[in-house]
Amino acid sequence: MPDRDLVLLETVKTHRARLVSAFLSGELAERRLINDNLRRLVGGIVLAAVLSAVCVGFSFVSAQLGNQAEQQKQQQGLGPATGPVFASDTFDRTVGNGWGTADRGGTWRLGDPATGYSVSDGAAVLKLASVPAASGAGSDRLGGYLPGIEQDRSDVTVTVEPSPALKSGGSVTVDLLGRRVSSNQDYRTEVRLTPGGGTAVSLVRVSTIDQGDGPVQQISTTVGQPGSTDAGDQPIPVSIRMQVIGTNPTTIRAKVWTGGSEPSDWTVTGSDSTQDLQRPGTIGLLAADGGGRDTLSDLRLTDLIARTAP
């Protein structure tokens, strides 16, 4: 029997010879057909190469643009707040018992007693003597929130003015709520003001989910800042800015400063994925007197503004 490999080789040689012969000396129609086929083959190869290069280039450019967008977001987070405003209050009104209606964001919903709140001279007042000294994150704090707004990318700034009574000792704790889901679910920046002019800043999670560490859990280190909250008889205002961004995980960060310009760096940062907090929430403010002196202090809040974070 003939060798199959030899037969196949001879067949290929014969076919190749016929193609070459037809291309060189065959009929005009045959040569045209072969030329057309070759052009189609070469064209197909070139087109495939071009498409492949375009796809690779597009993927590369898309990745670069994505990286640039993420870097821009991070850089925007370091600078002054510039996003669209979704809530604000200059407290430019007079209210006896309560805080009334914010410039943007609806009517303030406050805790008891109503006599613990007022608005005058461009500031919301918390009369801390109306509640016991704070021992936790719950009802022993005065404060409220704006129920008509919800965000999952908040950037909130407020200024706090302690009363001169703080100079006599003790401390005052201020909580800025960047995402309040319910009365016992929120992310907050806790700022402890002391008579020596210092602040102690930390990020706190309040959740209904017990992860073995209780419902109230600190999610950052506590950063102490010497600062200066008193100048003569009048304390210097303390500014607080907090961002709560995204879900699963949520990025939380805050900065605190006294007087002057806003610093570029964040004082504390953290990340959390506690399930009952991975949804939009509103903003709020709480405060409590830490005790340690005979005269409890009032607290004034000014220039609240909440923007959509980048």
Share of the chain above pLDDT 70, in %: 65
Collapse the DSSP code of 235 into the 3-class scheme (helix H, G, I; strand E, B; otherwise coil) and give the result.
coil
Asked if the model's pLDDT at residue 20 lies above 90, the reply is no
Asked if the model's pLDDT at residue 34 lies above 80, the reply is no
Looking at mean pLDDT, say which of 70-84, 90-104, 254-268, 293-307 comes out highest: 90-104
Q: Which H or E run contains 188? A: strand 185-193
Question: Do residue 95 and residue 67 come from a single domain?
Answer: no
Collapse the DSSP code of 104 into the 3-class scheme (helix H, G, I; strand E, B; otherwise coil) and give the result.
strand
Distance, CA of 106 to CA of 124 (rounded, Å): 15
Residue 217: pLDDT band with limits 50, 70, 90: very high
Question: Do residue 64 and residue 141 come from a single domain?
Answer: no
Give the per-residue pLDDT at 190: 98
Residue 69: pLDDT band with limits 50, 70, 90: very low
Q: Which of 24, 42, 76 is the last residue of a domain?
A: 76
Question: Do residue 145 and residue 283 come from a single domain?
Answer: yes
Give the per-residue pLDDT at 80: 75
Please state the rounded mean pLDDT for residues 253-277. Answer: 94
Question: Do residue 162 and residue 56 come from a single domain?
Answer: no
Give the per-residue pLDDT at 38: 54
Asked if the model's pLDDT at residue 126 lies above 80, the reply is yes
Looking at mean pLDDT, say which of 1-15, 47-61, 247-261 comes out highest: 247-261
Residue 236: pLDDT band with limits 50, 70, 90: confident
Residue of 37, 53, 245, 163 lying closest to 174 (CA atoms): 163
Q: Which of 76, 106, 121 is the last residue of a domain?
A: 76
Do 129 and 296 touch, CB atoms closer than 8 A? Answer: yes
Question: Do residue 38 and residue 151 come from a single domain?
Answer: no
Collapse the DSSP code of 155 into the 3-class scheme (helix H, G, I; strand E, B; otherwise coil) and give the result.
strand
Question: Do residue 191 and residue 291 come from a single domain?
Answer: yes
Those residues whose C-beta lies under 8 Å from the C-beta of residue 153, and which sit 6 or more positions away, are 83, 244, 245, 246, 308, 309, 310
pTM over 0.75: no
Give the per-residue pLDDT at 59: 55
Question: Do residue 179 and residue 279 come from a single domain?
Answer: yes
Q: Which of 32, 53, 76 is the last residue of a domain?
A: 76
Residue 51 is part of which domain span?
A: 4-76
Number of domains in the chain: 2
Give the per-residue pLDDT at 227: 62
Distance, CA of 131 to CA of 248 (rounded, Å): 36
Asked if the model's pLDDT at residue 31 lies above 90, the reply is no
Residue 44: pLDDT band with limits 50, 70, 90: confident
Share of the chain above pLDDT 90, in %: 51
Written as six digits, the tokens of 173 are: 């704790």
Please state the rounded mean pLDDT for residues 178-197. Answer: 92
Please state the rounded mean pLDDT for residues 218-222. Answer: 96
Question: Do residue 21 and residue 117 come from a single domain?
Answer: no
Residue 25: pLDDT band with limits 50, 70, 90: low
Give the per-residue pLDDT at 138: 47
Residue 74: pLDDT band with limits 50, 70, 90: very low
Residue of 146, 154, 49, 59 lying closest to 103 (CA atoms): 146
Q: What mean pLDDT, rounded, does the chain reach?
A: 81
